[in-house]
Amino acid sequence: MGSVGDKAAVRRFGPVALVVASGLSVQFGSSLAVLLMPRAGALGVVTLRLVLAAAVLLAVCRPAVRGYGRADWGTIAAFGTALAGMNTLFYQAADRIPLGAAVTLEVLGPLILSVVASRRWTNLLWAGIALAGVVLLGGGGFERLDPAGAAFALAAGGMWAAYIVFGARTGRRFPHVDGLALAMAFGAVLSLPLGLAEAGGGLLVPSTLGLGLAVALLSSVLPYTMELLALRRMPAPTFAILMSLEPAIAAAAGFLVLGQVLSVTDALAIALVIGASMGAVRTRTGPSRREPSRTEPSRRPARKVP
Q: What is the DSSP string of the chain?
A: -HHHHHHHHHHHHHHHHHHHHHHHHHHHHHHHHHHHHHHHHHHHHHHHHHHHHHHHHHHHH----SS--HHHHHHHHHHHHHHHHHHHHHHHHHTTS-HHHHHHHHTHHHHHHHHHH--SHHHHHHHHHHHHHHHHHTTT-GGGS-HHHHHHHHHHHHHHHHHHHHHHHHHHHSSTTHHHHHHHHHHHHHHHHHHHHHHGGGGG-HHHHHHHHHHHIIIIIHHHHHHHHHHTTS-HHHHHHHGGGHHHHHHHHHHHHH-PPPPHHHHHHHHHHHHHHHHHHHT--S--TTS--TT-GGGSPPPPP-
**Digit-coded pLDDT (tens) for 41-81:** 889 999 999 999 999 999 998 998 888 899 999 999 999 99
Give residues with Cβ within 8 angstroms of 75, minimum separation 6. Answer: 166, 169, 170, 173, 179
Q: In Å, how far from its chain's centre is CA 80?
A: 13
For the chain, the average pLDDT equals 77
Q: What is the pLDDT of residue 70?
A: 92
Whole-angstrom Cα distance, residue 186 to residue 191?
Answer: 9
Q: What is the pLDDT of residue 259?
A: 67
Q: What is the pLDDT of residue 244?
A: 66
pTM: predicted TM-score of the whole model, two decimal places: 0.73
For the chain, the domains span 40-287
Give residues with Cβ within 8 angstroms of 74, minimum separation 6. Answer: none
Show the low-confidence residues of the chain (pLDDT under 50): 1-10, 285-306
Q: What is the pLDDT of residue 288?
A: 41
Whole-angstrom Cα distance, residue 55 to residue 41?
Answer: 21
Burial class (CB in 10 A: 0-12, 13-18, 19+), 154: middle
Q: What is the pLDDT of residue 289?
A: 35
Taken as a whole, the chain contains a residue count of: 306
**Digit-coded pLDDT (tens) for 91-106:** 899 888 877 778 778 8
Q: What is the pLDDT of residue 101?
A: 74
Residue from 269, 275, 225, 280 nearest 247 by CA: 269
Contact 54, 17 (CB under 8 A): no
Contact 161, 21 (CB under 8 A): no
